[in-house]
Structure 1
Amino acid sequence: MRLVASDLDGTIVGPDNRISDRTVRAFRNCVEAGIDVVFVTGRPPRWLSPLQEFFGHQGTVICSNGAITYDLGAERVLKAQAVSLPAILDAAGIIRELYPRARFAAETVDGFHLGPGFLEPGSAELPGAVTPAPLESTLTDADTVVKFLARVDGATPDEFLHRVRPAVAHLVSTTHSAPSAALLEMSMLGLDKSVTLSDYAASRDIDPADVVAFGDMPNDVQMLQWAGCGYAMASGHADALAAADKVAPAFADDGVARVLEALLRRA
């Protein structure tokens, strides 16, 4: 084991935005043992406070499902891989044909573009003073869109994904990570967590066989499959469990920490 790659939400970060002491200790022990640690998340860089607050992480974080490689210590974007504006607008049109009441948003390197109705007014998820407006009127070719988002009411997350993904597969890569909200996350075509993680590992001359990865949702599937040993959380989504080599104990049971402790004992 030369590299540990871990998802955040539902894997080591809870709904209260906290990381347990046991999990923090396990990752610190990995670092002290000379093992590279990289976090691979759907979150944008502005939502990485748990890593700083609980772990004091200063290294690389792969954000936005692989679209951003971020230096947390320097608070600097190292690389961004964008969805083109034509792909976004074409995908939005296709999704509207399937779900006429779909709402949209776009995450960029510099901020957030919010379509009408995407979030409730005053929502805690709303980043800063963002005024809702149709994306067609706010996005330009100059915007580096790292994640295009769509949500609907009246569908489950899996239903929404399974209907939309094949319809837009020629335009974007589509996944979801929200357990209960019908919210899709779309990235540049061909991009997912594993693509950027693979580049990160190669830059350190680390073979996939020497990588241990943890995740819990559909946006972790490719990463779990790519890693030499992929662990899905017992509390995770069925797709993650099907993709993984092994199952870690549930998030509530400090599953990642338990696995890392065992692996370090064997090292």
Structure 2
Amino acid sequence: MISGNRPKLIATDLDGTIVPHMGPISDRTVAAFRKAHELGIEIFFVTGRPPRWMVDVREAFGFGNAICANGALLYDLMNNKVLEQWLMPTEVQLEIVQRLRISLPGIHFALEYGEEFHREKQYTTRWDIGRDNVGVDLIEEKITEPAFKMLGRCVKNEFTSDQMLEIALRELDGVANITHSNSSESLIEISALGVSKGQTLAKMAERAGLTAADCVSFGD
């Protein structure tokens, strides 16, 4: 139940929620969020996207902050600046790769840190086409600094995303946080242990002195 007549914080997922998969953000959606912003309600866009994919959101709305990379980054949307980040150390990345190569035969990896995206040659790129045209034989070559996200893909669809998630949750228990956003992609996304969209959003609400009763969130 929301205290008072209106929330103090609104958080929304992007893709598949307020951003259609096959089209632009609607004028109606922008108008609704603009009205909330004008009423003094804090707006958070919460997403698995990295900051480099937030240009359309910044241009459409012109206000708000963002929680990016499945909770790993607190991002100042309007000033294009990462304010805080919760990263996976290199030794954790190496452990993740070692464990999943054994438990998920056929998996190939990509990782993201700073403005960089790196992938193994056999990792099929869906969205960052052209960002890393060469790739490396083994992702260990690029594990040189803390990363905000790792991605694992079974390029021949040896496992579904649901199967990959089930196995990874077991193999990486106590090591990292794992999720997926599309059950048909044979893709999992990996963050630092304890990092998720919900955890980071809860942290932002707590800092603002808000409880769950003051907040509205929708999407995944």
Structure 1: which 5+ runs fail to align?
221-267
Query: Aligned runs of 1:227-242 on 2, under 5 Å?
Result: none
Corresponding letter in the other structure for 2:206: A
**1: CA distance, partners of 2:70 / 2:10:** 17
In the alignment, does 2:13 pair up with 1:29? no
Q: Which SS does the other structure have where 2:84 is aligned? A: strand
SS in structure 2 opposite 1:145?
coil
Q: How many angstroms apart in 1 are the aligned matches of 2:20 and 2:58?
A: 15
Partner of residue 103, structure 1 = 108
Q: What residue in structure 2 maps to residue 80 of structure 1?
A: 85
User: Which position in structure 2 is the counterpart of 1:115?
Assistant: 120
**What is the match of residue 95 of structure 2?**
90
Superposed displacement of residue 173, structure 1: 0.5
Structure ranking higher in helix proportion: 1
- The CA RMSD over aligned residues, in Å, is 1.6
Asked which structure has the greater RCO (Cα within 8 Å, sep 6+), the reply is 2
Secondary structure class of the residue paired with 2:33: helix
Alignment TM-score, normalising by the size of structure 1: 0.74
8 Å CA contact 1:67, 1:187 repeated in 2: yes
Paired AA for residue 62 in structure 2: G
Within 5 Å, which residues of 2 pair with 1:2-13?
A: 2-13=8-19
Aligned to 2:139: 135
Q: How many matched pairs?
A: 211
CA contact (8 A) 2:103 2:171 kept: no
Separation in 2, partners of 1:211, 1:49 = 26
One-letter amino acid of the structure 2 residue matched with residue 109 of structure 1: G
- What runs of 5+ residues in structure 2 fail to find an aligned partner? 1-6
Residue in 1 that maps onto 2:129 = 126
Query: Which of the residues 209, 213, 218 maps onto 1:205?
Result: 209
Moved over 3 A (4+): none
Aligned to 1:149, which of 148, 151, 159? 151
Amino acid at match of 2:195: L
Q: Deviations over 1:39-87 (max 9, x none)?
A: 1100000001221232223x31100011000111111110111112121
**Residues 18, 9 of structure 1: alpha-carbon distance in 2 compared, 3 angstrom cutoff:** same
Contact 2:111 / 2:118 at 8 angstroms: preserved in 1? yes
Conserved? CA contact 1:119–1:126, under 8 Å: no
CA contact (8 A) 1:108 1:147 kept: yes
Counterpart for residue 4 of structure 2: none
Separation in structure 2 between the aligned mates of residue 157 and residue 129 of structure 1, nearest angstrom: 24
CA distance, structure 2, for counterparts of residue 113 and residue 178 of structure 1: 21
Give 1:36-55 correspondences, 5 Å limit. 36-55=42-61
Aligned with residue 183 of structure 1, among 187, 209, 215: 187
The code of the aligned residue for 1:151 comes to: R
% identity of equivalent residues: 37
Q: Is the 8 A contact 1:113 1:139 kept in 2?
A: no
Does structure 1 retain, via aligned residues, the 8 Å contact 2:106–2:158? no
TM-score for both structures, normalised by structure 2:
0.89
1:17 & 1:113 partners in 2: Cα distance?
28
